[in-house]
Chain A
Amino acid sequence: MEILVASAIGVITMTGIYLVLRLRAFPMVLGMSLLTYAVNLFIFASGRLSIDMPPILSPDGAAYVDPLPQALVLTSIVISFGMTAVMVMMALGAFLETGHDRIDMTGPQEDEQ
């Protein structure tokens, strides 16, 4: 299982960074979302993997998964949503203001009306 999770994190990171390196705002936002998945999975995995051991206390439960990374990731997911919304809004605003959604500030900056 570990190899699957690790490689999944790697693949998501790769796709995320590749998209972040594109020159337009929209793929960049997608890339950041993917990186969020990767980071969240990574933090989650730092609590080590366990199957069928949810951190819900029960009388017969003997072992539980590490709950702390889960709590951290839970808030991280919600915060990332907020940040994604802000990024989307900024991308939209930049596009509406300038008529293009390029993110690099090199080259001619004239607007595409």
Chain B
Amino acid sequence: MSLALIAALPFLGALFPGLMIRAGRGPSALAAAAANALALLGLLIHAPAVLRGEVIHTRIEWLPGLGMDANFFLDGLGLLFAGLILGIGLLIILYARYYLSKSDPMGQFYTYLMLFQGAMVGIVLSDNILVLLVFWELTSLSSFLLIGYWKHLPEGRQGARMALIVTASGGLAMIAGMLILGHVAGSHDLSVILTQAGAIQASEWYLPALLLILLGCFTKSAQFPFHFWLPHAMAAPTPVSAYLHSATMVKAGLFLMARLWPVLSGTAEWFWLVAGAGLITMVIGAVIGLFKDDLKALLAFSTVSHLGLITMLLGFGTKAAAVAAVFHIIAHASFKAALFMAAGIVDHEAGTRDIKRLGGLRTLMPVTFAIVAVAALSMAGIPPLNGFLSKEMMLEEVLHAGAGGGWLLVVLATVGAAFSVAYSFRLIAHVFLGPVRSDYPHHPHDPGFGMWAAPALLAVLVVLIGLWPMTLAGGIVAAAAGAVTGGAVTVNIHHWHGLVPALFLSIVAVGTGLVLVGGHRRLDAIWTAVPRPEAKRIFDAIVDACAAVARGFTDGLHNGALTRYLAIFTLGVVVAGVWAFRTGTHAPGDRLLTEIAPVPVVAWVALVICSVLLMVLHRDRLLALVLIAVVGLMVSITFIYLSAPDLALTQISVEVVTVVLMLLALNFLPKRTPVESGASKRLRDLIVAGAAGVGVAALAYALMTRDFAFPTISDYHLAHSKSGGGGTNVVNVILVDFRGYDTFGEITVVGIAALLVFALTETLLRGGRANRRLLAWVPDQRRAGDRHPMMAVIATRMILPVALVVGVYIFLRGHNDPGGGFIAGLVVAIALLMQYMASGFAWADARQRLDYHALIGAGVFVAGLTGIGAWFAGRPFLTSDYGYVRIPPLEEFELATAAIFDLGVFLTVVGAVMLMLASLTRIAIRAGETVNIEPMDVDPSAPSHGTEGR
């Protein structure tokens, strides 16, 4: 099976449980299990080859330009981890099926779980570090969802947030570290990076990369001082704790340290950082664990401690230590997952997991007791179980590493081991041994087979691997350790090494552990009396402080004075422009200037006068509209003068529509802008505006007086407009053909803008303050006595057919002469608009059957369909075609698919403009504007006045 498929299967599997839950809890679990089992099967098919020492690759080119390809590889280490993830995953799915109660949304649970599983498998199989980072972040996110699965519990939400903050921050550091690593190695593929040990360790970037990557690994694997999130993550349902927080996710950090071991280890920095953090974590976790009364908290700290142990072994940097680390990963996954599941069973059946309220469960829950006894004894390192073997190996390595006078290392490791023994024994003694109590919250009994099958299987494995380590685990340990160290390793796991120092240390640890658990009551009293830093409180304080700083920063910058931001922004841009001008090199412009004729000077004077007047007189809003319309008109004249007939036509028609629109809106706005800013503030604004104006003018002048710095692509358009697009109006051909995709996007935007206006109107009219204000509207200006004068009514009606013909004409000639869909749409819209203005909304509306929404939709649809049509000719989206036809007695004329596209543009523009104006009209009607059914308020044929229709 392709490795990519193995990684994808859990993701595919994530889709089904959420859907299958409608069929029941069983099918939902089955769907998840099926995907999981299939992936596991695919993995196992590769196992023999990998155990022989082969490395399997799957390469899929994805974004080669970024060095990001979906490359996967499977070696011994990947096989070990993928096997753990998929194998234990299957057991967890079984266990969770019986653990979750009826009220828990099980479909969601399995979907999250499978997402997590896919992300984990992705991490361990990735060859490309960028892809690996994506999966890495995905584990943080899916673990957030799983920890917070019981959304109603505040501990769940807080624990999820804490885990996300800690692990995702580490993930960010990791991204930086990985990018450095990839940069130094010259490739983003792990299989290449792993061969570059010399170059990486010699690089000056080695230490930063190491620190950043270790930050990611330590946060993920809960190493000191980031260990605090793991116990809080125990708010998750127990299957999650067993899966994520003992067997898999927290081992992702270990995996990565093991994966990068060949290139990062072996230096003094690696030894001190990794082995040091591991040792501290191991001791602290074990000590705290002994004093936890919550079963899951005890196990969580024990996990922290064991993760520290493995980290320390990896930090030693020797081959034998790597073998010990790999073996302990297997041992820990087996006994800790079993213990977590058993803790879940106790919680589930006895109703509490507080050790102080338990005890004497041995006879009540014999099966659970057997599982816990085996697993906990293994955790304590009692022969012949697998935990004993790995602990012996650990102590052996500690003695080697501490040979040169590092007695402190030996002492601390032994202390850690002793506490480990103590909490393991406490788990058995205080929960299961002792007298049967009468005050359990529930009556405890063993659960059904479905619930204890998974931990029992793991407990059996603990025993079997303990008895025959070389037969059962020798091969995979050798393959994995070989992959970690990048060379062949000799694996030799035995119970009896003779009377070696490690054995004595082990005996000391067990003896001390027994003493500790014996004196637990007294020690506990001391422990509670001694003040200790509380990690959660420190974490909360840090988060609160960060939030306060961020809030202060935001409030300081963002005080609601929008105009001030705009002023600052404008000045910022001006300063950036000046700075660029001052620091850049430039030559004076030598382009031949066009000469100044008298007509443009007149237009220029009109434009400047109106602009300046606008600044002075803008408080009279009606006058301001007139002035701005003049400016728009002058801009249109500029376009026509400077060889842009299409632009001039568009600008002038848009101008009309815009002014009408603003007039309609102004009807409901104050007619005057009050004086609010003092003279100094206005002067300040004038200076800001003036600086920007001078800057823009200078920039425009500089641009226009120089020739193009690069050859323009316009020559291509000019050359191919006729031959390729079939039109002589190059601007129109660019719009509907060369850059048709842009135009398609733009008509969509215009359509959306119109719908937005409509939606805003709907919201305003639905009720609430705006609606009440409109209903109580009193016109602030005198109404016209004759709102629909006869002259206007008659004239517009006469003009309508002419205007429509002009619109059609402009549309048709557009491909070869100035015109086209945009302009034709505006012209037709204005023609219709005139009817509304002259004869009244209701009268006009009753005489046309166009639905503006449908018009917009049809326009976009037609344009899109034309584009798709190109596919049937086997060409890319929006490729146009044209031909010439001759229908006698007409002359030969051209037919182009671009014209159909332009029709779409036309329809959208008409629909959009009309919908916007119709929306404003609806506001007017709500405000009590009378609705006419007659075209004129005054009927000239009637003998007397006053037949105003309502």
Residue ranges of A at the interface with B (Cβ–Cβ < 8 Å): 1-27, 29-30, 33-34, 37-38, 40-42, 44-58, 64-68, 70-71, 73-75, 77-86, 88-93, 95-99, 101, 103-106, 111
The answer to whether A77 and B693 touch (CB under 8 A), given A71-B734, A89-B760, A95-B669, is no
Q: Is the CB of A56 within 8 A of B700?
A: no
Q: Is the CB of A1 within 8 A of B600?
A: yes
Q: A7-B604, A26-B673, A55-B731 given. 8 additional CB < 8 A pairs?
A: A20-B566, A27-B624, A33-B628, A71-B731, A78-B746, A81-B913, A96-B773, A101-B670
Interface centre among A65, A74, A93, by most B CB within 10 Å?
A74
The answer to whether A93 and B763 touch (CB under 8 A), given A24-B673, A44-B642, A50-B643, is yes
Question: Residue on B with the closest CB to A95?
Answer: B669
Question: Residue on A with the closest CB to B664?
Answer: A88
Question: Residue on B with the closest CB to A58?
Answer: B728
Q: Is the CB of A55 within 8 A of B718?
A: yes
Residue B770 at the chain A interface, CB threshold 8 Å: yes
In the complex, how many angstroms separate the beta carbon of A108 from the nearest chain B beta carbon? 12
Q: Which residues of A contact B763 (CB under 8 A)?
A: 93
Please measure, in the bound complex, the distance between the C-alpha atom of A48 and the C-alpha atom of B813, giving whole angstroms. 26
Q: Is the CB of A66 within 8 A of B700?
A: no
Q: Which residues of B contact A104 (CB under 8 A)?
A: 560-564
In the complex, how many angstroms separate the beta carbon of B768 from the nearest chain A beta carbon? 7
In the complex, how many angstroms separate the beta carbon of B677 from the nearest chain A beta carbon? 7
| Interface SS, A side | helix
Residue B861 at the chain A interface, CB threshold 8 Å: no
What 10 A-B pairs are tightest by C-beta distance, nearest first? A10-B697, A14-B693, A105-B560, A82-B753, A96-B770, A6-B701, A18-B689, A57-B728, A71-B734, A17-B689
In the complex, how many angstroms separate the beta carbon of A44 from the nearest chain B beta carbon? 7
Q: Is the CB of A30 within 8 A of B718?
A: no
Q: Is the CB of B912 within 8 A of A82?
A: yes
Q: Which residues of B contact A54 (CB under 8 A)?
A: 643-645, 818
Contact of A13 among B564, B666, B697, B770 (CB under 8 A): B697
Instruction: Give the contact stretch, choosing among B18-26, B248-256, B482-490, B654-662.
Output: B654-662
Please measure, in the bound complex, the distance between the C-alpha atom of A80 and the C-alpha atom of B696, giving whole angstroms. 20
Q: Which residues of A contact B639 (CB under 8 A)?
A: 44
In the complex, how many angstroms separate the beta carbon of B42 from the nearest chain A beta carbon? 52
In the complex, how many angstroms separate the beta carbon of B681 from the nearest chain A beta carbon? 9
Q: Is the CB of B704 within 8 A of A5?
A: yes
Q: Is the CB of A105 within 8 A of B697?
A: no
Residue B297 at the chain A interface, CB threshold 8 Å: no
Residue B650 at the chain A interface, CB threshold 8 Å: yes
Question: Residue on A with the closest CB to B826?
Answer: A78
Contact of B642 among A50, A81, A91, A95 (CB under 8 A): A50
Q: Is the CB of A53 within 8 A of B669?
A: no
Please measure, in the bound complex, the distance between the C-alpha atom of A84 and the C-alpha atom of B137, giving whole angstroms. 42
Please measure, in the bound complex, the distance between the C-alpha atom of A106 and the C-alpha atom of B909, giving whole angstroms. 39
Q: Is the CB of A78 within 8 A of B608?
A: no
Please measure, in the bound complex, the distance between the C-alpha atom of A21 and the C-alpha atom of B750, giving whole angstroms. 27
Residue B635 at the chain A interface, CB threshold 8 Å: yes
Please measure, in the bound complex, the distance between the C-alpha atom of A90 and the C-alpha atom of B757, giving whole angstroms. 8
Please measure, in the bound complex, the distance between the C-alpha atom of A95 and the C-alpha atom of B923, giving whole angstroms. 13
Q: Which residues of B contact A86 (CB under 8 A)?
A: 753, 756-757, 760
Q: Is the CB of B746 within 8 A of A37?
A: no
Q: Is the CB of A19 within 8 A of B615?
A: yes
In the complex, how many angstroms separate the beta carbon of A14 from the nearest chain B beta carbon? 3
Q: Is the CB of A21 within 8 A of B631?
A: no
Interface centre among A6, A23, A42, A85, by most B CB within 10 Å?
A85
State how many residues of chain B have any CB contact under 8 Å with chain A. 121
Would you list which residues of chain B between 699 and 729 have a CB under 8 Å from chain A? Answer: 699-701, 703-705, 707-708, 712-714, 717-718, 721-722, 728-729
The answer to whether A79 and B750 touch (CB under 8 A), given A1-B600, A19-B615, A91-B669, is yes
Q: Which residues of A contact B728 (CB under 8 A)?
A: 56-58
The answer to whether A34 and B750 touch (CB under 8 A), given A6-B704, A15-B689, A19-B614, is no
Q: Is the CB of B689 within 8 A of A70?
A: no
Q: Is the CB of A46 within 8 A of B703?
A: yes
Residue ranges of B at the interface with A (Cβ–Cβ < 8 Å): 559-564, 566-567, 570, 591, 593-597, 600-601, 604, 607-608, 611-612, 614-615, 618, 621, 624-625, 628, 631-632, 634-635, 638-639, 641-647, 650-651, 654, 657-658, 661-662, 665-666, 668-670, 673-674, 676-677, 685-686, 688-690, 692-694, 696-701, 703-705, 707-708, 712-714, 717-718, 721-722, 728-731, 734-735, 739, 742-743, 746, 749-750, 753-754, 756-757, 760-761, 763-764, 768-770, 773-774, 816-818, 822, 826, 909, 912-913, 916, 919-920, 923
Q: Is the CB of B712 within 8 A of A22?
A: no
In the complex, how many angstroms separate the beta carbon of A110 from the nearest chain B beta carbon? 13
Please measure, in the bound complex, the distance between the C-alpha atom of A7 and the C-alpha atom of B611, giving whole angstroms. 12
Q: Which residues of B contact A2 (CB under 8 A)?
A: 593-594, 701, 704-705
In the complex, how many angstroms separate the beta carbon of A84 from the nearest chain B beta carbon? 6
In the complex, how many angstroms separate the beta carbon of B164 from the nearest chain A beta carbon? 32
Q: Is the CB of B756 within 8 A of A10?
A: no
Q: Is the CB of B612 within 8 A of A15?
A: yes
Q: Which residues of A contact B650 (CB under 8 A)?
A: 74, 77-78
Please measure, in the bound complex, the distance between the C-alpha atom of A48 and the C-alpha atom of B593, giving whole angstroms. 10
In the complex, how many angstroms separate the beta carbon of B632 from the nearest chain A beta carbon? 7
Q: Is the CB of A17 within 8 A of B693?
A: yes
Contact of B621 among A23, A26, A42, A90 (CB under 8 A): A26
Q: Which residues of A contact B693 (CB under 8 A)?
A: 10-15, 17
Contact of A10 among B591, B668, B669, B700 (CB under 8 A): B700
Q: Which residues of B contact A92 (CB under 8 A)?
A: 665, 668-669, 764, 920, 923
Contact of A85 among B676, B686, B735, B753 (CB under 8 A): B753
Q: Which residues of A contact B690 (CB under 8 A)?
A: 14
Please measure, in the bound complex, the distance between the C-alpha atom of A51 and the C-alpha atom of B592, giving whole angstroms. 13
Q: Which residues of A contact B754 (CB under 8 A)?
A: 82, 85
In the complex, how many angstroms separate the beta carbon of B714 from the nearest chain A beta carbon? 5
Please measure, in the bound complex, the distance between the C-alpha atom of A20 and the C-alpha atom of B673, giving whole angstroms. 13
Please measure, in the bound complex, the distance between the C-alpha atom of A2 and the C-alpha atom of B567, giving whole angstroms. 28
Q: Which residues of B contact A75 (CB under 8 A)?
A: 735, 742-743, 746, 822
Please measure, in the bound complex, the distance between the C-alpha atom of A33 and the C-alpha atom of B919, giving whole angstroms. 21
Question: Residue on B with the closest CB to A113?
Answer: B773
The answer to whether A84 and B718 touch (CB under 8 A), given A27-B673, A44-B639, is no
* Selected A-B contacts with CB under 8 Å, 20 pairs: A7-B604, A10-B694, A10-B698, A11-B693, A14-B692, A21-B685, A23-B563, A27-B673, A30-B625, A30-B628, A34-B631, A50-B642, A55-B718, A56-B728, A58-B728, A64-B718, A74-B646, A84-B661, A85-B916, A97-B768
Question: Residue on A with the closest CB to B754?
Answer: A82
Q: Is the CB of B608 within 8 A of A8?
A: yes
Please measure, in the bound complex, the distance between the C-alpha atom of A83 and the C-alpha atom of B677, giving whole angstroms. 28
Please measure, in the bound complex, the distance between the C-alpha atom of A13 and the C-alpha atom of B933, giving whole angstroms. 46
Q: Which residues of B contact A58 (CB under 8 A)?
A: 728
Q: Which residues of A contact B666 (CB under 8 A)?
A: 26
Q: Which residues of A contact B621 (CB under 8 A)?
A: 26
The answer to whether A67 and B718 touch (CB under 8 A), given A27-B624, A46-B703, is yes
Q: Is the CB of B644 within 8 A of A44?
A: yes
Q: Which residues of A contact B634 (CB under 8 A)?
A: 8
Q: Is the CB of B570 within 8 A of A71?
A: no
Q: Which residues of B contact A95 (CB under 8 A)?
A: 668-670
The answer to whether A83 and B753 touch (CB under 8 A), given A18-B685, A73-B647, A74-B731, is yes
Q: Which residues of A contact B624 (CB under 8 A)?
A: 26-27, 30
In the complex, how many angstroms separate the beta carbon of A81 from the nearest chain B beta carbon? 5
Q: Which residues of B contact A46 (CB under 8 A)?
A: 703
